[in-house]
């Protein structure tokens, strides 16, 4: 393992930065993702790259890894300018990257996945031995012959990290590494990172989780809307001041609705068990929950534990065998489709806004017809009432401040935050009595996220029952009344948000916990 | 050299209309080069293929008669292709419809219905044609919907089966006993033949099915919820399920429409143009219709124009065989080149092309 | 009916020769599909190989040159397909159909001057002593060289796919082209090579038909074998040795036609001729029932790839 000259691990000293960028710019057509950014990375430091969704962090690191070519500016390695035409060049130099969305091949084994990034001269049959060695050295527990689709998110991330470590990188870039981990797995990751830092490597850590950044990182560079807006020592700041730097202004506090009467149980799930229709999906086992009118019920969990399957069962995209498994306002709808559930005034917002919640190549008014046609007013005798659809679209656009180009554009031309406001607003404007949302503010800028969360609170203040599935614990603790945790298709009993700690939820997310009633 | 594609920011209707036109021009240019290699004058060839057929009434009728089955089949294919269902067995569905409808024509041969009158025969034949096409199309449809079997392979295999089946029928049980052992059936009675529209011409009533189908399809696609579902299922299947649309029902409906229209084209051809059943009743309409569908960008109005264009090349090609001794296969090759140009032009209307030096990656 | 061992051997030989073009085309297409590209132009590439192969062999009086010409013809058509689907990211189904239509037209054009002509068929192996063995001599030691090459090809591809680095990279690209791109794997270059290989194999299979299986060219002589080869790849679950089993099955079915006719079984010839096509459908149905979730197919098969740069 390389031990680089690094004094006191804090990056001070006369050495040039290991990796630096000057004036780096990247344009995609008319859109500028990175605008003349300067950054430097010293050996033996953990450097945070902060910014909200859409600030340009992923674009910047893709250029550092050779996936994208800069439009302007230069990249410097130990003071000298270099070109990185592809990831092989970056790896040869000593830059490794752990992606947020893993670059893994599900149907290949762990060994095959790792072998793909080894230098071509290495023999294929020596790879399993090398994996075993690294796995032991860093406590990773990797089994070379397992196919990747059988592994959990934490295990998959360890493959990504092992891939990098086998090349002995001097610089390691991590893009939102904890977004798929339980709090306990995140702890393990931090230990590994501290160790790598002690070996003199430089770590570039992208995250929008401010507590983590304050804990791990020595310096931070902040991006906003593609530009570098500042640098700081995270430990000298508070999460609020960091957030203000990221957003550039005071964030609007979300106003909780204040104590209000809870009504009847409007959404009831009773012993729902369902096999997954997907090839590598998660089966739901005996899921039970009840959401009252006026309350927001949160479902926490690490990605890949049955959230999409739960949403599909609640929305009616997958039908249960037992009609009594799901009740909306007392009506058994378990075996009835999404159209019928909508006629009972239920609304649904799936996780994937482009391609699932909205059809990207259709206009906004068409997308109104998409979810609204069953509940009346938009069709007559098989014909679509285009004028009514346009009118409804305008209502949503105005109420939720959706920014767009042109009067009725295609859904895919909207930015992430605006499209999310549209698909959420489309349901809320119908004043549903039950609303189920999967990942309400994932990948959305702070302002849009605040608008959406406020709208959810306002909706439930009017007596609706709202169920949120989210991987963002901060969000769940901010707006939910009760929180349950989904793990390998099973739902824990719900805990009141005010009296529960992140640790308790974290244990449940990992499948452990005092409340668990199933033996493992 | 590497090709990079950049998405164009906005849609342009002008560009979308011009792209198939540009494709046609490029294909004609390529055709001209090939003709020159074969030792003929490209300009003369262009005149024979594209200009002369449009200048005489009888060849205009021939164009309409040839375009009609192409358009009818292609409109049906548009329903399937828009829904991402690759029905390439339209040729077989055409044959199935022609055979089932033609069977009634054989049954009623020689006035066997004198007692009740013959007004019902033609409508019944047309209906049987549609039914035959639908039933034949249901085979790949059901296999795809319930067993996830590739409809591409099954529908195509069934084309060969239909061709062989028809061959067996016409050489066997349907052969005209007074036909000197030729593999043909008896001729249909006038009551079983679609009437000719102009004295002494070839334009028959069946050619009117095509424009009617185009109008109905255009309305369905743009204004009805069914048309919305079909378009949605093809472009965003997850959103379609989210909208509560049943993709299985849509798939079966799309195949039924496609098979029914192909079957109708088949019985119209048999009853209007041929007047009896032969061992082959289609010069590859089912496959040429695929080209028409793409040339028309899967829109009914575009298909109408595309069908006329392709019919011109067929009629021109027949003339060129006589006038210039150019082989009929040249027309087929030209149609292949045309489809390639259409596909390329379609991509270019949505993306800008950038060529970069360096290795292909 | 008596069972003459010589007759049995003759039947088996026909099964093998009928299977050979299907096997060659299927193995080529299998490589293409494992890289994630669905090439429906196989039929067009095969028939163009048949016409070009015969034409070149007749004109130069060399079977070898005919074979090379056939392979090149298939590869040239495949390069057009690659331009459309890899360069322009056009729809793979429509592009494949376009190439089939073009291939048929071009093949008939090339072949038109050669209809009705014959030449000496491709040479067969002859080892004195071994090739004369009863029952198995001709079957194992007396085939033409295409047959042995087809077996070698199958074995080589099987080994290469599973045991070599480049084979692994190809499988990875077929599993997830985005991941491959993020890791710096040259996705489109690999797919281009795979498609050219597939086209070359289809062309080779076609030239086998016009140089060895029958020593002449006739229009549309491939009779849908390219499509059957596509079905074979599915039947083989994308594994080369299984493609051999499937090809022999289809070879057997096409032999039935001859066998029944020789034995005077009163089944209509059209039905017998339809058997391969009906068998293809039956085989696909059986396979789908066994693998209804489509787990065996390469995950990125048929999906266009447009890289960010």
Chain A nearest-CA distance from C167, in A, is 11
Please enumerate in sequence order all residues whose Cβ is within 8 A of that of B307, keeping only pairs 6 or more positions apart, or say none. Answer: B67, B68, B70, B71, B74, B210, B289, B292, B296
Q: Quick check: is C37 in a domain?
A: yes
* Closest residue in chain A to residue C294, using alpha carbons only: A279
**Across residues B7-29, what is the average pLDDT?**
84
In Å, how far is B9's CA from the nearest CA of chain A? Answer: 8
Minimal C-alpha gap between B343 and chain C (Å): 7
- The pLDDT-based confidence of A513 (bands split at 50, 70, 90) is low
Average pLDDT of the segment spanning B153-157: 94
Higher pLDDT, A412 or A289: A289
Q: Does A1 have pLDDT greater than 70?
A: no
Unique residue bearing structure tokens 């489309």:
A426
Mean pLDDT of C120-127: 81
Percentage of residues of chain A with pLDDT beyond 90: 46
Interface partners of chain B (CB pairs < 8 Å, 3 or more) are A, C
Lowest mean pLDDT, pick from B45-54, B65-74, B143-152? B45-54
Architecture of the structural domain at A265-354+433-509: 3-Layer(aba) Sandwich (3.40)
Which of A361, A364, A369 best tests the B interface by mutation, with the highest count of B CBs <10 A? A361
* Closest Cβ opposite residue B5 in set C89, C101, C102: C89
By CB neighbour count within 10 A (0-12 exposed, 13-18 middle, 19+ buried), where does C165 fall?
middle
Helix, strand or coil for residue A317? coil
Stretch 42-71 of chain A: residues touching chain C, C-beta under 8 Å:
66-69
Minimum mean pLDDT range among A173-182, B19-28, C121-130, C296-305:
C121-130
Q: C36 lies in which domain range? A: 5-290
Contact check, Cβ <8 Å, A115/C168: yes
Q: What is the pLDDT of residues A176-228, one digit of tens each?
A: 888 778 777 888 889 889 999 999 999 999 987 778 888 889 999 999 888 99
Tell me which chain B residues have a C-beta less than 8 angstroms from the C-beta of C93. 86, 152
| Cβ–Cβ < 8 Å for A265, A434 | no
Which of A301-315, A364-378, C122-136 shows the lowest per-residue confidence on average (mean pLDDT)?
Answer: C122-136
Average pLDDT across chain A, whole number: 86
> Is the Cβ–Cβ distance between B324 and B40 less than 8 Å?
yes
Please report whether residue C305 resides in a domain: no
* The predicted structure's pLDDT at residue C116: 87
- Is the pLDDT score of A31 beyond 70? yes
The partner residue sitting opposite B4, judged by closest CB among C281, C289, C309, is C309
Confidence at residue A517, expressed as pLDDT on a 0 to 100 scale: 40
Say yes or no for a CB contact (<8 Å) between C309 and A112: no
Q: How many CB pairs under 8 A join A and B?
A: 71
When pLDDT is averaged across residues B313-317 and rounded to a whole number, the result is 90
Q: In this model, does residue C245 exceed pLDDT 90?
A: yes
pLDDT of A106 above 60 = yes
Give the model's pLDDT for residue B329: 86
* Confidence band for C107, pLDDT divided at 50, 70 and 90: very high
Indicate yes or no: CB of C109 within 8 angstroms of CB of B329. Answer: yes
For residue A248, name the pLDDT band (cuts at 50, 70, 90).
low
A287 SS3 class: strand
- Chain C residue with Cα closest to B156: C227
Q: How far is B155 from chain A (nearest CA, A)?
A: 26
> What single-letter DSSP state applies at residue A306?
S
Q: Is the pLDDT of residue C197 over 80?
A: yes
Q: Tally Cβ neighbours within 10 Å of residue B316.
A: 26
pLDDT (tens digit per residue) in C12-34: 888 999 999 999 999 999 999 99
Reported as a pLDDT band with limits 50, 70 and 90, residue A10 is very low
Given a cut of 80, whether residue A21 has pLDDT beyond it is: yes
Q: Do A29 and B6 touch (CB under 8 A)?
A: yes
**Mutate which of A60, A98, A116 to disrupt the C interface (most C C-beta within 10 Å)?**
A116
Confidence at residue A512, expressed as pLDDT on a 0 to 100 scale: 65
Res A260: pLDDT? 66
Q: Break chain A into its structural domains and give their ranges.
A: 19-27+37-247, 265-354+433-509
For residue A355, list chain B residues with Cβ-Cβ distance below 8 A. 236, 238-239
> Is the separation of the CB atoms in B245 and B229 below 8 Å?
yes
Looking at chain B, the whole-number percentage of residues with pLDDT higher than 70 is: 97
Confidence of residue C7 (pLDDT cuts 50, 70, 90): confident
Give me the CATH number covering residue C102. 1.10.3470
Q: What average pLDDT score do residues A494-505 get? A: 86
CB-CB contact of B105 with B192 (8 Å): yes
User: Rounded distance, CA C175 to CA C188, Å?
Assistant: 14
- Chain C residues with CB-CB distance to B360 below 8 A: 186, 188-189, 192
Picking from B225, B238, B243, the nearest residue to A384 by CB comes out as B225
pLDDT confidence of B241, banded at 50, 70, 90? Answer: very high
Residue C165 has pLDDT above 60, yes or no: yes
pLDDT computed for residue A251 by the predictor: 56
pLDDT band at A515 (very low <50, low <70, confident <90, very high): very low
With contact defined as beta carbons under 8 Å apart, do A28 and A183 qualify?
no
- What pLDDT, on the 0 to 100 scale, is given for residue A256? 62
SS3 A121: coil
Which positions ≥6 away from A47 have C-beta within 8 Å?
Answer: A41, A202, A203, A204, A205, A217, A218, A219, A220, A221
A116 interfacial to chain C (CB closer than 8 Å): yes
CA nearest to B49, candidates B324, B321, B317, B348: B317
pLDDT at residue A322 is higher than 80? yes
The burial of A334, by beta-carbon neighbours within 10 Å (0-12 exposed, 13-18 middle, 19 or more buried), is given as buried
Q: What is the band of B190 on the pLDDT scale with cuts at 50, 70, 90?
A: confident
Task: Give the position of tokens 């909706």.
Answer: A459
Beta carbons of C183 and A103 less than 8 Å apart: yes
Cβ A370–B242 below 8 Å, yes or no? yes
Q: Where are the domains of chain B?
A: 69-296
pLDDT score recorded for residue A258:
58
Interchain contact A108–C (C-beta under 8 A): yes
Residue C23: inside a domain:
yes
pLDDT at A520 over 50: no
CB contact under 8 A, C178 and A103: yes
Residue A9 has pLDDT above 60, yes or no: no
pLDDT of residue C172: 95
Taken in order C208, C213, C217, C221, the sign of the CA dihedral is: negative
* Residue that wins the pLDDT comparison between B184 and B92: B92
* Stated pTM of the model: 0.87
The answer to whether the beta carbons of residues B172 and C268 sit under 8 Å apart is yes
Q: How many domains is chain C partitioned into structurally? A: 1
pLDDT at A257 over 70: no
| Confidence class for position C73, pLDDT limits 50, 70, 90 | very high
B293: closest chain C residue by CA = C94
Cβ within 8 Å, pair C98-B343:
yes
The alpha helices in C37-164, defined as continuous H runs, are 42-60, 63-82, 92-111, 137-141, 145-163
Average pLDDT estimate for B128-148:
96
Mean pLDDT score across all residues of chain C: 89
Other beta carbons less than 10 A from residue A389's beta carbon: 24
Alpha carbons C189 and C186: distance in angstroms, whole number: 5
Contact A74, A22 (CB under 8 A): yes
Question: Which of A408-412, B35-39, B350-354, C200-204 is predicted least confidently?
Answer: B350-354
Residue contact B236–A342, C-beta within 8 A: no
Q: Is any Cβ of chain B less than 8 angstroms from the Cβ of C106? A: yes
Find the range with the poorest average confidence among A138-142, A266-270, A344-348, C184-188. Answer: A138-142
The residue to which tokens 């057929």 are assigned: B53
pLDDT band at A437 (very low <50, low <70, confident <90, very high): very high
Average pLDDT, whole number, for chain B? Answer: 90
**DSSP string of A94-110?**
TEEEE-SS----TTSBH
Once rounded to an integer, what is the mean pLDDT over residues B42-70? 89
Q: What pLDDT does A11 receive?
A: 43
On the question of pLDDT at C263 being above 80, the answer is no
Q: What sections of A248-282 are H helices per DSSP?
A: none
Q: How far is B194 from chain C (nearest CA, A)?
A: 31
What is the tens place of the pLDDT at every residue in A389-399?
Answer: 999 999 999 99
Mean pLDDT in residue range A132-142: 82
Please tell us whether the domain made up of A19-27+37-247 is placed in CATH 3.40.50.300. yes
Does residue B286 carry a pLDDT above 60? Answer: yes
Question: B255-276: per-residue pLDDT in tens?
Answer: 999 999 999 999 999 998 888 8
Cβ distance of A382 and B243 shorter than 8 Å: no
Of the given ranges (A326-330, A501-505, B113-117, B144-148), which has the lowest mean pLDDT? B113-117
Name the token pair of B68: 């009609």
Q: Which residues contact A239 (CB under 8 A, 6 or more apart)?
A: A210, A211, A214
Beta pairing class for A72-77 and A19-28: antiparallel
Residues A83/A93, Cβ–Cβ less than 8 Å: no
User: For residue B37, is pLDDT > 50?
Assistant: yes
Q: What's the rounded Cα separation, in Å, for the pair B100 and B104?
A: 7
Select from C175, C180, C184 the Cβ nearest to the Cβ of A107: C175
- Cα(B181)–Cα(C212) distance, integer angstroms: 36
Whether the complex's predicted ipTM surpasses the cut of 0.90: no
Q: What is the pLDDT of residue B24?
A: 92
What average pLDDT does this structure show over C77-103? 93
Map residue C106 onto helix, strand or coil. Answer: helix
C281 to B361: CB separation less than 8 angstroms, yes or no: no
B352 to chain C, minimum CA–CA distance in Å? Answer: 10
pLDDT higher than threshold 70 for residue C249: yes
SS3 A251: coil
* CA distance, residue C282 to nearest chain B CA (Å): 9
């Amino acid at each position: 393992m390389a031990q680089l000259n690094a004094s006191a691990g804090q990056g001070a000293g006369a050495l040039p930065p290991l990796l630096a960028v000057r004036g780096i710019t990247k344009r995609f057509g008319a859109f500028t993702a990175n605008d003349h950014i300067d950054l430097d990375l010293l050996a033996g430091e953990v450097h945070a790259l902060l910014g909200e969704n859409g600030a340009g962090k992923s674009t910047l690191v893709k250029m550092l890894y050779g996936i994208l070519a800069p439009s302007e500016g230069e990249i410097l390695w130990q003071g000298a300018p270099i070109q990185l035409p592809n990831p092989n060049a970056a790896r040869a130099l000593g830059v490794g990257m752990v992606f947020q969305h893993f670059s893994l091949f599900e149907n290949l084994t762990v060994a095959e996945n790792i072998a793909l990034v080894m230098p071509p001269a290495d023999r294929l049959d020596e790879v399993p031995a090398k994996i075993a060695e690294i796995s032991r050295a860093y406590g990773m527990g990797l089994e070379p012959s397992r196919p990747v689709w059988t592994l959990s998110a934490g295990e998959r991330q360890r493959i990504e990290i092992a891939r990098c470590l086998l090349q002995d990188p001097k610089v390691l870039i991590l893009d939102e590494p904890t977004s798929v981990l339980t709090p306990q797995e995140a702890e393990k990751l931090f230990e590994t990172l501290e160790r790598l830092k002690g070996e003199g490597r430089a770590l570039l850590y992208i995250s929008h989780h401010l507590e983590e950044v304050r804990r791990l990182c020595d310096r931070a560079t902040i991006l906003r809307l593609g530009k570098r807006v500042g640098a700081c020592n995270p430990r000298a700041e508070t999460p609020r001041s960091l957030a203000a730097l990221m957003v550039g202004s005071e964030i609007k506090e979300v106003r909780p609705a204040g104590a209000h009467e809870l009504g009847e149980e409007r959404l009831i799930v009773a012993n729902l068990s369902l096999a997954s229709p997907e090839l590598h999906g998660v089966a739901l086992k005996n899921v039970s929950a009840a959401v009252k009118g006026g309350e927001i019920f949160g479902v926490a969990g690490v990605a890949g534990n049955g959230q999409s399957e739960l949403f599909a069962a609640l929305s009616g995209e997958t039908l249960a065998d037992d009609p009594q498994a799901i009740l909306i306002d007392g009506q058994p709808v378990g075996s009835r489709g999404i159209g019928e559930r909508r006629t009972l005034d239920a609304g649904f917002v799936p996780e994937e806004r482009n391609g699932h919640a909205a059809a990207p190549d259709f206009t906004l008014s068409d997308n109104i017809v998409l979810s609204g046609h069953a509940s009346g007013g938009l069709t007559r005798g098989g014909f679509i009432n285009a004028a009514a659809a346009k009118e409804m679209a305008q209502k949503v656009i105005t109420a939720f401040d959706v920014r767009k180009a042109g009067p009725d554009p295609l859904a895919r031309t909207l930015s992430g935050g605006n499209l999310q406001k549209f698909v959420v607003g489309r349901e809320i404007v119908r004043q549903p009595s039950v609303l189920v949302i999967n990942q309400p503010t994932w990948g959305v800028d702070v302002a849009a996220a605040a608008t959406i969360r406020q709208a959810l609170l306002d909706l439930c203040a009017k007596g609706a029952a709202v169920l949120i599935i989210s991987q963002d614990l901060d969000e769940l603790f901010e707006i939910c009344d009760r929180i349950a945790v989904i793990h390998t298709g099973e739902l824990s009993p719900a805990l009141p948000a005010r009296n529960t700690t992140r640790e308790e939820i974290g244990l449940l997310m990992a499948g452990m916990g005092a409340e668990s009633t199933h033996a493992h | 050299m590497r090709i990079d594609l950049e998405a164009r920011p906005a849609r342009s209707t002008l560009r979308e209309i011009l792209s198939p036109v540009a494709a046609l021009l490029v294909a004609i240019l390529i055709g001209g080069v090939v003709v020159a290699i074969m030792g003929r004058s490209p300009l003369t060839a262009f005149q024979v293929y594209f200009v002369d057929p449009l200048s005489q009434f009888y060849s205009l009728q021939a164009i309409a008669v040839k375009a009609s089955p192409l358009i009818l089949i292609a409109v049906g294919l548009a329903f399937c292709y828009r829904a991402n269902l690759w029905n390439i067995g339209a040729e077989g569905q055409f044959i199935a419809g022609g055979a089932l409808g033609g069977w009634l024509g054989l049954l009623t041969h020689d006035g066997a219905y004198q007692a009740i009158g013959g007004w019902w025969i033609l409508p019944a034949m047309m209906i049987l044609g549609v039914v035959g096409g639908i039933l034949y199309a249901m085979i790949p449809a059901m296999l795809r919907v319930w067993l996830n079997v590739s409809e591409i392979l099954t529908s195509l295999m069934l084309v060969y089966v239909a061709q062989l089946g028809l061959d067996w029928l016409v050489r066997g049980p349907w052969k005209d006993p007074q036909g000197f052992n030729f593999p043909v059936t008896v001729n249909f009675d006038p009551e079983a033949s679609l009437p000719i529209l102009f004295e002494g011409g070839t334009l028959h009533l069946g050619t009117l099915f095509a424009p009617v189908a185009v109008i109905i399809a255009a309305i369905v696609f743009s204004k009805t919820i069914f048309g919305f579902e079909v378009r949605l299922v093809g472009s965003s299947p997850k959103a379609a399920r989210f909208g509560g649309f049943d993709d299985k029902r849509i798939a079966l409906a799309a195949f039924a429409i496609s098979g029914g229209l192909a079957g109708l084209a088949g019985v119209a051809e048999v009853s209007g143009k041929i007047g009896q059943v032969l061992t082959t009743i289609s010069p590859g309409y089912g496959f040429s219709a695929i080209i028409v569908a793409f040339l028309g960008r899967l829109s009914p109005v575009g298909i109408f124009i595309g069908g006329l264009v392709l019919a011109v090349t067929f009629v021109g090609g027949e003339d060129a065989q006589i006038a210039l001794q150019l082989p009929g296969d040249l027309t087929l090759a030209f149609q292949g080149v045309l489809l390639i140009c259409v596909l390329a032009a379609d991509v270019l209307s949505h993306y800008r092309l950038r060529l970069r030096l360096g290795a292909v990656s | 009916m008596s069972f003459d061992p010589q007759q049995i051997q003759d039947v088996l030989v026909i099964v093998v020769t009928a299977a050979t073009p299907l096997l060659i085309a299927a193995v080529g297409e299998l490589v293409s599909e494992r890289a994630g590209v669905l090439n429906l132009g196989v039929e067009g590439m095969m028939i163009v190989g048949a016409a070009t192969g015969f034409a070149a062999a007749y004109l130069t009086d060399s079977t070898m040159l005919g074979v090379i010409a056939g392979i090149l013809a298939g590869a040239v058509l495949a390069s057009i397909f690659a331009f459309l689907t890899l360069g322009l990211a056009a729809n793979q189904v429509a592009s494949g159909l376009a190439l089939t239509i073009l291939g048929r037209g071009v093949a008939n054009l090339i072949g038109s001057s050669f209809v009705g002509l014959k030449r000496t068929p491709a040479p067969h192996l002859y080892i004195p002593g071994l090739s004369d063995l009863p029952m198995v001599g001709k079957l194992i030691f007396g085939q033409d060289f295409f047959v042995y090459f087809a077996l070698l090809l199958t074995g080589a591809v099987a080994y290469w796919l599973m045991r070599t680095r480049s084979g692994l990279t190809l499988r990875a690209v077929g599993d997830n082209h985005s991941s491959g791109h993020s890791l710096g794997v040259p996705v489109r270059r690999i797919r281009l090579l795979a498609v050219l290989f597939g086209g070359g194999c289809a062309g080779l299979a076609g030239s086998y038909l016009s140089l060895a299986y029958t020593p002449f060219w006739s229009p549309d002589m491939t009779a849908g074998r390219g499509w059957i080869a596509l079905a074979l790849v599915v039947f083989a679950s994308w594994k080369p040795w299984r493609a051999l089993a499937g090809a022999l099955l289809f070879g057997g079915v096409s032999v039935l036609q001859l066998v029944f006719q020789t034995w005077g079984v009163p089944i209509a010839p059209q039905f017998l001729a339809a058997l391969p096509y009906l068998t293809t459908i039956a085989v696909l149905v059986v396979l789908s029932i066994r693998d209804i979730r489509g787990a065996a197919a390469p995950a990125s098969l048929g999906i266009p790839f447009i890289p960010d740069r």
